[in-house]
Amino acid sequence: MATKPQNHVDTFENPHPGRNYEIVFDCPEFTCLCPLTGQPDFAQFKIRYVPDKLCVELKSLKLYLWSFRDLGAFHEDVTNRIANHLIETLSPRSLTMEAEWNVRGGITTTVVVRHPNPEC
């Protein structure tokens, strides 16, 4: 059976809910489309979170990120959409998502989302 993109992430119970520990995912092959030109945009995501009751199942994260491949989205929007989805699904104690976007027009972009927001 072939795998397909999916619009959700699967979870499993945190095996050590009484401990604060950090999980880090490096996702170096993220792609979506520029909403203005339709050309591909490439990014490397680093997702760091401290789980509470739930953890992310890795294959489902890969399939979820794949679902953005044909989507036109600005860097700021897609980074926040993915972070919001993970926060809503996991309710983590903390989450930081850093997206380093490849150069486009001589400019690189880095978008960082932090939860909870230390500014609030």
Q: How far apart are CA 114 and CA 26, in angstroms?
A: 16
- Choosing from 10, 26, 27, 41, the catalytic residue is 41
Concerning whether 32 is annotated as a catalytic residue, the answer is no
- Choosing from 10, 27, 34, 52, the catalytic residue is 34
Concerning whether 77 is annotated as a catalytic residue, the answer is no
Proportion of the chain in helix, strand, coil states, percent, rounded to 5: 20, 40, 40
Q: Is the dihedral of CA 4, 73, 34, 76 positive or negative?
A: negative
Catalytic amino acids? 34, 41
